[in-house]
Structure 1
Amino acid sequence: MMRTVLLSLLPIVVFSTYLYGLRVLLLLSIVIIMGTITEYLWEKRRSKKVSEAVLVTSILYTMTLPVSTPFWVASLGIIFGLFFGKLVFGGFGRNVFNVALVGRAFIYVNFPEPLTISWNKVASGIQGGFGTYITNGIDVVSEATPMILFNNTGELTDIYSLITGIVPGSIGETSMVLIVLGAIYLVYKKVASWQIMISSILGFLVTSTVLYYFTDVTIANPIYGMLLGGFLFGTVFMATDPISGARTKKGKWIYGSLIGIVTVLIRGLSLFHGGVMFAILIANIFVPIIDYFVNEASKAKKKNMEVTS
């Protein structure tokens, strides 16, 4: 399962290197090393081995960061995420929250400047960023990413750029084509839940439509909004985490819908630009409750059918 996710992320890593330069690979390597050391030191006490999940967590976490994120900040994030998001709960398979997002939320709150102000231009041409360490920084922060541009000026980036991913943003969250291809591959391999993906998108589109057409809340139109920020990346690779996500069939639909709804509400009613990170973490809290009531409802229905028959 972990190797399948790694394969689905490989094209995104390569494309992000093309966009931003070789620092992507260096940042990724440092995060993987720090994450592996953290888990190794913890598991060594229990005479257990490091799981392949730490590689997936490290890559997903890195893909949510701006390429210019200081190495020490990124290292603190992955250490915090692994320790407080997984290891203290008992290690692999016991985490309540998505581990990568725990790490990102930690540095987002404690070190907001590198995650909200420092953005880099995207490379172009055949060679792209493969021949440079890092692309140039963006001076006008208000126009740094499509999401920030819309929130500050109301201007929408052209849809072609949003779909292809040739726009500034977090390292791996911009290429919608590769994200969708990754989603198809994960669903085909039966590694990720298509119910969670579809319900997240439906929850997002329905809520966006209501707020966009029937209220004064300032949000992008539903289709553009879905392509802005890291919503699709989070939906495909974070929300579908089999450990922290819902496990019952009906629970997956409820869980996914909750993520889509909360993402839109955070975008429209708070100061945060993206929303999907906090939406997934909030939904993680309700997963045990959702699955519990779904199971109880199923038992009650089965019992009633037995009594009737």
Structure 2
Amino acid sequence: MAKQKSFFMKQAMMRKVLFATIPILIGATYFFGLRTLTLTAVVTLTAIITEYLFKRKDGKPVSEAVIVSAVLFTLALPVGTPYWVAMVGIIFGIVFAKEVFGGFGRNVFNPAIAGRTFIYVSFPEYLTATWNLPSQSFPGGFTKYITDSIETVSGATPLAAMGTADAPGLSELIIGNVSGSLGETSIILILVSAVYLLATKTADWKLMAAPLVGFVAFNSIFYMMGVEGVPDPVFGLTSGSMLFLSVFFVTEPISAPKTTEAKWIYGILIGFVAMIIRTYGIFIAGGMFALLIMNTFAPILDVAVKELKATKSEKGGNPA
């Protein structure tokens, strides 16, 4: 009797990433309500079905990585994102950033970020103009479907409120009781996840650190130059998506460079481009655009580093 094939491709590293998202999922549910979990479930099921439709013809299993993409994609959304918009986004990410390149291991772009960027541009009102108030006391969102909404063009996220009386303090940003996307508000929970990923050797510390170094360095330079609209580096780092992006998305190994030098260049440039877009672009969420831009350059960076090393080695081996 032939052995029955598993529906999922076993990927221990992907399961570790999923474990790392658990504190953030629990925190997001507390701050914004049980819709966090239903939105995650709907997106995950949609992602699995989408990949299955591509794999069934060849009888290949669905990757556990698709679940990771779905959960991270959901955590990058506001809790009030309509289900159909979230479904469109994850389908786009899985199909056009993963399957068209040949599936897991061949994708050039990060599927979750590609999907998030697509709906950010296509349905901006749902991701930039409608937010929900965070719960302020226990049991918080554990006893309600969704917290009260704030519908305003200016928004109520920390970056949108910068420079106003409504701007949150550092303690609020660290804890996470501020409006924003589900996984991006609580600095302490993101750091807990980062420690787990690094301790289990699931994420490369260089890929995690490089974009933060680049972002803080250029944020500091712009701030000291007095560029309008640039916050102090601490507020800049803790008030947006940069930390969440660096911990979970830049460290995605398939779309990132493989050589050490290229990882540092790649990450620092992500931080730099994110800062440029956040300061001068029409979209305040510069990190996701920066990552996609640098995804395209990751293979070139590896080739360039190897070529330079080879040239240096040849010169060193053939002294004049």
User: TM (normalized to structure 1)?
Assistant: 0.96
In structure 2, the partner of 1:125 is 137
Aligned: 1:71 with 2:83: yes
State how 1:1-40 maps to structure 2 within 5 Å: 1-40=13-52
Aligned: 1:88 with 2:100: yes
In structure 2, the partner of 1:136 is 148
1:198 and 1:62 map into 2 onto residues whose CA distance is 24
SS at 1:123's partner residue?
coil
For 1:281, the aligned partner's letter is L
What is the deviation of 1:285? 1.0
SS at 1:119's partner residue?
strand
SS at 1:201's partner residue?
helix
2:59 and 2:108 map into 1 onto residues whose CA distance is 23
SS at 1:45's partner residue?
helix
Of residues 69, 94, 113, the one that matches 1:57 is: 69
2:313 and 2:177 map into 1 onto residues whose CA distance is 52
What is the deviation of 1:215? 4.2
After TM superposition, the runs of 4+ consecutive aligned structure 1 residues lying more than 6 A away are none
Query: Which consecutive residues of structure 1, in runs of 5 or more, have no partner in the other structure?
Result: none
1:143 and 1:93 map into 2 onto residues whose CA distance is 38
Of residues 252, 268, 277, the one that matches 1:257 is: 268
Of residues 289, 292, 300, the one that matches 1:281 is: 292
1:119 and 1:156 map into 2 onto residues whose CA distance is 15
State how 1:79-228 maps to structure 2 within 5 Å: 79-150=91-162, 153=164, 156-228=167-239
1:84-131 superposed Cα distances (whole Å, 9 cap, x missing partner): 000000000000011101101111111111111110001122211000
The number of residue pairs the alignment matches comes to: 308
Of residues 286, 291, 300, the one that matches 2:302 is: 291
Change (3 A) 1:252 1:288: same
What is the deviation of 1:306? 2.4
Counting aligned pairs with the same residue, the percent is: 46
Of residues 50, 54, 59, the one that matches 1:42 is: 54
1:171 and 1:245 map into 2 onto residues whose CA distance is 25
Which is helix-richer, 1 or 2? 1
Further displaced range: 10-19 or 141-150: 141-150
1:30-68 superposed Cα distances (whole Å, 9 cap, x missing partner): 000000000001011122110100010000000000100
For 1:12, the aligned partner's letter is I
Contact 1:69–1:114 (CA under 8 A) maintained in structure 2: yes
2:14 and 2:272 map into 1 onto residues whose CA distance is 28
- Aligned-residue CA RMSD (Å): 1.5
2:57 and 2:152 map into 1 onto residues whose CA distance is 49
SS at 1:96's partner residue?
coil
Change (3 A) 1:84 1:140: closer
1:89 and 1:222 map into 2 onto residues whose CA distance is 38
